A and B are shown apart, each in its own frame.
Chain A
Amino acid sequence: MHEAKNSLGVIFFPAFDWSISPTHPEREERLLYTQDQLKEEGLFDIEGVDEHKPGVATKEDIERVHFCYPEVEAVATRSHLVAAGGTMTAADLVMSGRHKKAFALVRPPGHHAMKVVHGSRGFCNINIEAVMIEHLRENYGKKRIAVVDTDCHHGDGTQDIYWHDPDVLFISLHQDGRTLYPGTGFPQECGGPHALGRTINIPLPPGTGDEGYMMAMERVVMPILKDFKPEVVINSAGQDNHFTDPITNMNLTAQGYAHLTELLQADIAVLEGGYSIQGALPYVNLGICLSMAGLDYSGVREPGFDAVKHAQRPQIAEYLAKLCDALPELYFNPPSLEQSISGGKIEGEWFVRHKDIYYDTDGISEAQTEELLLCDSCRGLLKVVSRTTKNPACLGVEIPLHACPRCREKGLALYEEAQAKEGYRYCQLINRADRQYLRHGF
């Protein structure tokens, strides 16, 4: 009989009673066939592979990460709390030593959810990876974390949350933003002033197949990871890069995904997108599970696979070869603030950037001004002012983990002052130094 080389915990939670709308891609049926496939293959009978129930994230777990307006309950349904809780369970299983690796096969996804949340963007409300990362930091003292986002869409939410964090390396492999939602994720986007080179974007041309993905993994992702030496590697395992996906244009196969997973050796994988629920998900998820557990995945093959039809065009390899020559430089010799797309400029002690954000799922427009206090002793105080078509002026103040006394004082003063002046409809304070999460509404 089989025995897993790496013991693997799978948090399987298909949320069979939740959907965005009855015919939306993010609906009840999404993981049904995956469940059928995993059950029929007898995955959970394999020695060392276990299925676990997700935990439920608390309000505080969310508030540690996001500014939610007007409040957590308004933007996160119970399903979001369970998905986020699922990723935390995955982290707990690995940190406690119960399993070597874990896969949170949960829905809905989260990698488009940014620091500030007013509603749903790209089917995401709560950034489930970020909730897990801050859970790892808060409860297990982990510091250096790498997130490799292989979803076909740019993980703009995760990028936004860790834009200023030099201890989180965010690498996203996605279909070129000129051809797909959300239209971002270019190489010049490489992090804020104190975290340059800690955001790496690898835009892949439409039609990229297994070879192209492997090239990017071997020549860009792996050398950077080796140098960064993260304590935990997380894979945002979206599966919409599969050749059958209805809303994207890539050519990755289940075999390719399993191979990628084997190379990456992530400690924790988290399901993100992937809407070819019959033709791709059952096989890709089986491939990921087997690969993570160190089992033979060579027999996994999706019915629609055609080696000739799904081969990558030669021009793509040529283009990618050039890209792969240039991209590692972004990490090893990051460009100056002026050369990168930082989206902002330095004004005195502060780095200021303006963002216009559209919440496509909920139809909300947001105008945001984010200010980071450029501090030499800590990550720096963060202040975000946001106005939307839904909520009037909102203020978010974040005193970062391990904040210096000055940033802490200043943050507390800012929050107090904002309440006194009544310039904002809602104020939220994330005080990681004192584990204090406050909100105030007028």
Chain B
Amino acid sequence: MYLGIDVGGTHTDAVALDESGIAAQAKVRTNHQDLLASVNQALEGILAAVPAQSISQLNLSTTLSTNAIVQGTLEDVGMLVVPGPGISADDFMLCRDYHVLKGSIDHRGSEIERLDTAQAQGAIDACRKKGVRVFGCVGKFSTRNPLHENTLRQMLGPDGAGADSVTLGHELGGRLNFPRRLATAYFNCAVWRVFGAFADAVEKSLERLGLGHVRVNTLKADGGTFPLAQARKMPVQSIFSGPAASVMGIIALCDINHDSIILDIGGTTTDIAVFVDGQPLVEHDGIDIGSHPTLVRALKVHSIGIGGDSAISVLGEAVRVGPNRLGPSQADCVELGCACAADARPTLIDALNCVGAASHGNVEASRQAIGQFARCHSISPEVLAASAVEAASEAIFKATRELLDEINDKPVYTIHELLEGRRVVPKRVYLMGGPAQAMREAVRQRFELFTVVPEHFDVANAIGAALTRNTASLELFADTEKGVMFIPALRHRENVPRNYSLKEAERDALNHLLAHLSEMGVFADRDNAQVNNASSFNMVSDGVTTGRNIRVKCQIKPGVAFALTGPSQTTAGR
């Protein structure tokens, strides 16, 4: 049996399920001061219905790293930065102990200037003097040649002795983007200790609850999981996994084949995701943490401030919903039989109650609040409620269209892609989250598309967490003139012959990816491994071809262990 726990902003959801369906589910309020308590509570809730022995795997989606960053409870990090010429690295100063060192590598991975080791030693000593125990070493073009980062790694000494943890820029993946690499390495270092402590505590809890035998994975933002042991090394990858859990939930609950839109309507926000040919779209570069763009891969999810608890406002003639959230709806906060306050502010849920799309909580309180608010603005309550629902679906529609435009405008680099490239044209809308059922009709009318609300739409996130498979990705770079092949994420570098070809590079990339997973004790189906991008350029010097410049990207594509698609989906036709 698979267990999924999604520690969200408001609730912590847990489900236990197998191919026959959901065996147990639990929903508890998230305690942000003590996430472990929330996890334990959810686990205990599940174990009340399901025996511990039957559970084989736990997938955990947690806001731990996100919280640490938002609340600023980050550890001091020593950043050793080797930028070389270009945009000044001083502008990316992320922390106090940030040392810019001399040395440079160019775009082909040639060393242009040697690393100034005396300067580096000085920087390391200065960090140690201040008690810094975790280090990030990042060089420009280190994904082409990690020489300087490796030298710094050696200078820092072995783990535990010289430093508690060291993150090297090139281990974060082979993609180019030095500022993102810097930020990603920094955040990885900064949350390393707090994540490790949490992982220890979770393992202890599992032991105590008789779940010591369970395989534990952590969710990533890219719609995949990775083993807890791996997450301890790269905790930054566990950030913002919440929206991904929901998207994967939809995959488990619905059989999606077309270009589709996924709307996860929550209390405060609506998350919009796009599927192309039944596959979720991945963010082009990586997500932003605070104001810092990073290399953390994520599903492309766009959030807007519209949810069930979004306040209704009237501005002139226009009725608007959100982005402010002024607490729960009147339907939720007014006891049955009581009158709501004279200045009570109605929310989207209240409007949905009034138009008859929902009968959530105290419907009478909703009517009352909408009535009062409508009188204040001299419009009829019916018009106000209808306009509010319409405004919400309009705002969601507009944001979706903007997202689609952005996707369709993504730069491409070949004539073929530019002229033959397909546009994403959604055929269906999938709704989930609390107000999903209530908003279905309004959304259907605005989008004019086939609209689906799956069963279990309110715990889809936990289902997604439970069923999400392991994913991994890597980039391979080969330069046959130099005779080298390099996979930065795996720190694998080998010599290749001059006739090394694109085909061999693709094969090597996939083999290394699968081998890497099996080393981590993960079984990955070869069918799920795919090459996303492969290119080979002839390098010419003085009219003679001197070699090939080869780049391959491959991944285990995101997916679920099995689907829970039953005949009981509720749908609304055109």
Q: Which chain B residue lies CB-closest to A35?
A: B413
In the complex, chain B residues whose CB is within 8 Å of the CB of A15:
413-415
B86 within 8 A of A: yes
Interface-facing stretch out of A17-25, A161-169, A217-225, A348-356: A17-25
A40 close to B415 (CB less than 8 A): no
Number of interface residues of B (CB under 8 A): 43
B537 close to A28 (CB less than 8 A): yes
The answer for the CA separation of A262 and B412 in the assembled complex, in Å, is: 29
In the complex, chain B residues whose CB is within 8 Å of the CB of A286:
86-87
Contact with A along B405-418 (1 / 0, CB 8 A): 00001111111101
Which residues in window 498-545 of B have CB below 8 A to A?
Answer: 535, 537-540, 542-545
A359 within 8 A of B: no
The answer for the CA separation of A15 and B91 in the assembled complex, in Å, is: 33
B88, B176, B418, B545: which contacts A53 (Cβ < 8 A)? Answer: B418
Min CB distance A73 to B, Å, is 14
Contact with B along A1-39 (1 / 0, CB 8 A): 110000000001111111000110001110011011101
B180 within 8 A of A: yes
Min CB distance A288 to B, Å, is 14
A45 close to B106 (CB less than 8 A): no
Most chain A Cβ neighbours within 10 Å, of B179, B292, B419, B535: B179
Which residues in window 22-74 of A have CB below 8 A to B?
Answer: 22-23, 27-29, 32-33, 35-37, 39-43, 45, 51-54, 56
Q: Which chain A residue lies CB-closest to B548?
A: A29
Contact with B along A276-306 (1 / 0, CB 8 A): 0010001100100010000110111111000
In the complex, chain A residues whose CB is within 8 Å of the CB of B419:
56, 78, 82
The answer for the CA separation of A39 and B416 in the assembled complex, in Å, is: 22
B178 within 8 A of A: yes
Min CB distance A158 to B, Å, is 24
Min CB distance B186 to A, Å, is 14
B107 close to A36 (CB less than 8 A): yes
B549 within 8 A of A: yes
The answer for the CA separation of A301 and B140 in the assembled complex, in Å, is: 14
In the complex, chain A residues whose CB is within 8 Å of the CB of B179:
41-42, 45
With contacts A23-B545, A39-B177, A53-B411 taken as known, whether A29 is within 8 angstroms of B539 at the C-beta atoms is: yes
In the complex, chain B residues whose CB is within 8 Å of the CB of A282:
107
Min CB distance A88 to B, Å, is 14
Min CB distance A87 to B, Å, is 15
A18, A246, A290: which contacts B87 (Cβ < 8 A)? Answer: A290
B409 close to A52 (CB less than 8 A): yes
A278 close to B88 (CB less than 8 A): no
In the complex, chain B residues whose CB is within 8 Å of the CB of A17:
414-416
A388 within 8 A of B: no
A35, A36, A82, A303: which contacts B418 (Cβ < 8 A)? Answer: A82
In the complex, chain A residues whose CB is within 8 Å of the CB of B108:
33, 278
In the complex, chain B residues whose CB is within 8 Å of the CB of A32:
537, 549
Q: Which chain A residue lies CB-closest to B107?
A: A36
Q: Which chain B residue lies CB-closest to A55?
A: B418
The answer for the CA separation of A62 and B311 in the assembled complex, in Å, is: 54
B177 close to A42 (CB less than 8 A): yes
A79 within 8 A of B: yes
B106, B180, B411, B545: which contacts A51 (Cβ < 8 A)? Answer: B411
Q: Which chain A residue lies CB-closest to B143?
A: A40
A14, A42, A303: which contacts B413 (Cβ < 8 A)? Answer: A14
In the complex, chain B residues whose CB is within 8 Å of the CB of A283:
85
The answer for the CA separation of A53 and B414 in the assembled complex, in Å, is: 11
In the complex, chain B residues whose CB is within 8 Å of the CB of A53:
409-412, 418
The answer for the CA separation of A203 and B329 in the assembled complex, in Å, is: 75
B135 within 8 A of A: no
B415 close to A29 (CB less than 8 A): no
With contacts A18-B415, A40-B141, A53-B409 taken as known, whether A301 is within 8 angstroms of B549 at the C-beta atoms is: no
B45 within 8 A of A: no
The answer for the CA separation of A53 and B411 in the assembled complex, in Å, is: 5
The answer for the CA separation of A299 and B84 in the assembled complex, in Å, is: 9
In the complex, chain B residues whose CB is within 8 Å of the CB of A14:
413
B327 within 8 A of A: no
With contacts A27-B540, A246-B542 taken as known, whether A296 is within 8 angstroms of B414 at the C-beta atoms is: no
B107 close to A33 (CB less than 8 A): yes
A23 close to B106 (CB less than 8 A): no
A29 close to B91 (CB less than 8 A): no
The answer for the CA separation of A22 and B92 in the assembled complex, in Å, is: 40
In the complex, chain A residues whose CB is within 8 Å of the CB of B409:
52-53
In the complex, chain A residues whose CB is within 8 Å of the CB of B104:
303
| CB pairs A–B below 8 angstroms (29 shown) | A2-B87, A2-B91, A12-B413, A13-B411, A14-B413, A15-B414, A16-B535, A18-B415, A23-B538, A23-B540, A29-B538, A29-B539, A29-B549, A37-B107, A40-B140, A40-B176, A41-B86, A41-B178, A41-B179, A43-B87, A45-B285, A52-B409, A52-B411, A53-B418, A56-B418, A78-B419, A278-B108, A299-B86, A300-B87
Please list the residues of chain B having a beta carbon within 8 angstroms of any beta carbon in chain A.
85-88, 91-92, 104, 106-108, 110, 112, 140-141, 176-180, 285, 291-293, 409-416, 418-419, 535, 537-540, 542-545, 549
Known: A1-B92, A1-B291, A23-B543. 14 other contacts (CB 8 A): A13-B411, A16-B413, A27-B540, A29-B539, A32-B537, A36-B107, A37-B86, A40-B107, A40-B178, A42-B177, A45-B285, A52-B409, A286-B87, A301-B85
What are the 6 tightest A-B residue pairs by CB atom distance, in nearest-first order? A42-B179, A301-B85, A39-B176, A40-B176, A17-B414, A36-B107
Please list the residues of chain A having a beta carbon within 8 angstroms of any beta carbon in chain B.
1-2, 12-18, 22-23, 27-29, 32-33, 35-37, 39-43, 45, 51-54, 56, 78-79, 82, 246, 278, 282-283, 286, 290, 295-296, 298-303
